[in-house]
Amino acid sequence: MQREGCRMSGGVQEPASTGMITLDDLDNMTDEPGSDSAYNSNGSVEEEAEPMEDGDQDRLLNYWQTVARGHQVEVPNEMAEPIQQLTRNSRTEERQSVPFLLLSCKEKCGEILYEKRQYGKAKWACVKMQEEKYEQSICMGFMKLMRYICEQNSSGTYMGMTIPILTTIHTDAGRSELTRTVTVAYYIPSNWQDSPPQPTDSEIFIEEWPSTVVFTREFAGVTNEESIMREISLLAEALDSPDLCLQDTFIVAGYTNPAAVSRRNEIWFLQRP
């Protein structure tokens, strides 16, 4: 698959103005299973978190390794520093959300069936993965992006966490199953958009995605082949004109750690150019 498969291919004009998703301060990491140290957002943090102690790095690494093994993913020891840095900064800094313009919203009996949004042109750091299972691909892709965020870039600085992390997925012609190749993407923060730091990892590439319109439906829980195919079907049923969207390319937007038990996700359909 060519790198262009990573792009949102809307081909529409830039929105006149954009709205920002509300930003929340990050919660402190806990030792409870399913805690969300890199992403967690559960309201404002009233007091600045205390600096981490030396033993915290090993504790964090062991926590991530334990959770990841449940997804058949190995977290190498070299991830200790990026995990600690992302967690430390996440305690006191806001996560920047990808800006978008809300175009419309379809509801039924008080339930939001889907939203129609317009995202502007922007630069993303992307990495292609082709593991045996979808969960393995997104976990390993996110670890690569974590290193890029946490100083393993040409600027040598921590860039800041942004949400959502996007995963571009493809289905076969009959839309019966996912193909193995996925692209995990991180939105470059606004202060780096004009000149993004270059990754030290040769598998990560910076790509500018054009403005596009997406139809999005929120769902909770794990993201695997079964749940994604189910959400694709549900959104297709809710859309008034699903034929206006690409039929074999979709995006899974993740707002929480891919290893977390409780997750907030969205499935995105991309409007045809």
Is a pLDDT exceeding 90 seen at residue 82?
no
Distance, in Å, from the CA atom of 52 to the CA atom of 29, rounded to the nearest integer, reads 11
- Indicate the average pLDDT of the chain: 78
The per-residue pLDDT for 260 is 64
247-to-40, 105, 239, 243, 272 alpha-carbon distances in Å? 33, 21, 13, 7, 9
The per-residue pLDDT for 245 is 95
The per-residue pLDDT for 96 is 87
Which tops the pLDDT comparison, 89 or 197? 197
- 224 falls within a domain: yes
Q: Find out whether 93 and 27 touch, Cβ atoms under 8 Å.
A: no
Distance, in Å, from the CA atom of 218 to the CA atom of 1, rounded to the nearest integer, reads 28
81 pLDDT tier (thresholds 50, 70, 90): confident
- 151 falls within a domain: yes
- 185 falls within a domain: yes
Say what angle helices 55-69 and 80-92 make with each other, to 10 degrees: 100
Q: What is the CATH number of the domain that holds 200?
A: 3.20.80.10
Is a pLDDT exceeding 80 seen at residue 254?
yes
70 pLDDT tier (thresholds 50, 70, 90): low
| Mean pLDDT lowest among 60-64, 212-216, 236-240 | 60-64
Pair of tokens at residue 193: 């958009």
- 124 falls within a domain: yes
37 pLDDT tier (thresholds 50, 70, 90): very low
131 pLDDT tier (thresholds 50, 70, 90): confident
Neighbours of 30 (CB within 10 A): 12
The per-residue pLDDT for 259 is 56
- 141 falls within a domain: yes
89 pLDDT tier (thresholds 50, 70, 90): low
- 34 falls within a domain: no
- 256 falls within a domain: yes
Number of domains in the chain: 1
Question: What residue numbers bound the domain in which 160 lies?
Answer: 3-22+94-271
- 117 falls within a domain: yes
Alpha helices in the chain (DSSP H): 55-69, 80-92, 134-149, 225-238
Say what angle helices 134-149 and 80-92 make with each other, to 10 degrees: 70
Tell me the mean pLDDT in the region 211-240: 94
Output the pTM of the full model.
0.76
Sheet holding 264-271, edge to edge: 100-108, 111-119, 212-220, 264-271, 245-254, 165-170, 182-187, 122-129, 204-209
Is a pLDDT exceeding 60 seen at residue 3?
no
pLDDT in tens, 138-179: 888 988 998 899 888 999 998 988 999 999 999 988 888 999
What single string gives the DSSP state of each residue in 94-107? PPEEPPEEEEEEEE
Which are the contacts of 78, defined by CB distance < 8 A and separation ≥ 6?
Answer: none
Helix (H, G, I), strand (E, B) or coil at 66: helix
